[in-house]
Amino acid sequence: MDTNRTSNNEDELFEFTEYSAENAERIGYSDYSYWKSVFQNFLKKKAAVALLIIFFLVLIFSFIALAIAKYDISMEPDSSRAFISPNSEFWFGTDNLGRDYWSRVWFSSQISIKLAVLVALGECVVGVTIGCIWGYVRRLDRFFTELYNIINNIPTIIYMTLVALIIGQSFTIMAITLIAFGWLPMARNVRNLVMMYRDREYNLASRCLGTPLHRILIKNILPYLLSVIILRLSLSIPSTIALESTLSYLGLGLDINTPSLGILLRNARGYFLDYPYLLVFPALIVSLITVTFYLVGNAFSDAADPRNHV
């Protein structure tokens, strides 16, 4: 009798429902989007977002500043106007040759940012391409390892000195040279990760099915490298500006007729004790770029890591 009572209670608690394709589709659907999740996670990093907004505002203002400047970048030197402190006519003062420092600082900022972004993208393309081939094609591992060791064990300053003395100094030459010797960290990181993922079961299955090499690299392996690539790309921008500033300080950077933040810092080294504004303005912009891309790179790399997605 107890068994019958239990059976009756179960019949009262449960009942069969009719199948509805619409309800099943709605329950089984997920609105997950990888890039949506990436940006949602990135926006949680308030400090990185704030600095990124400030950087873009400064970049936009650099174009506005040149448009509203009272004096052009091609202003002729005039020793009678040398070392004028910032005032209502010369907003950032004048340099040792009497040229308007406002227009030179903002024009130099554009040149340095343009160089850094171009070099970072070049290093990314070359480094990812070589790193994927280096890590996936086993018979090429020794060749690329020896090439890496040869280039990496010679200081960059030696390469840049030889290029500056033999070929010359210009924006194009410096960009190509920095890319030619700056792909090493990106390629090394990509190579190590590719070696981790190349023998996973799904890649072995793809090879057995005859999937081309380039498709395996692009479709199966490259998505796992995205967070590392983003981090290296973002860190390459401030490091390029810092390297350009160092090389220009040593006289090995851009041509003297192409103003950059590094050249402004080099020119200010002999005067900044008496005229600190010559060092303060370019140094502030270099510091802003360096801190911004360091924080943004780390934040965006964490956001792009699928393991941090819910």
Instruction: Check residue 280 and give its pLDDT.
Output: 92
Q: What is the pLDDT of residues 126-168, one digit of tens each?
A: 999 999 889 888 888 999 999 999 888 888 888 888 888 888 8
**Considering the entire predicted model, what is its pTM?**
0.80
Longest dimension (CA), the chain: 114
Question: Distance between CA atoms of 108 and 62, rounded to whole angstroms?
Answer: 9
Instruction: Check residue 123 and give its pLDDT.
Output: 92
Residue 126, phi-psi category: left (phi > 0), alpha (psi -120 to 50), beta (remainder):
alpha
Question: Distance between CA atoms of 174 and 208, rounded to whole angstroms?
Answer: 45
Instruction: Check residue 254 and give its pLDDT.
Output: 80
Question: Distance between CA atoms of 207 and 226, rounded to whole angstroms?
Answer: 22
- What Cα–Cα distance (Å) separates residue 181 from each residue in 163, 184, 244? 12, 7, 14
Question: Distance between CA atoms of 299 and 293, rounded to whole angstroms?
Answer: 10
Provide the 8-state DSSP code for 211: -
Q: Identify the CA nearest to 299 among candidates 231, 225, 223, 217.
A: 231
Mean pLDDT for all residues in the chain: 84
Stretches where the chain sits below pLDDT 50 are 29
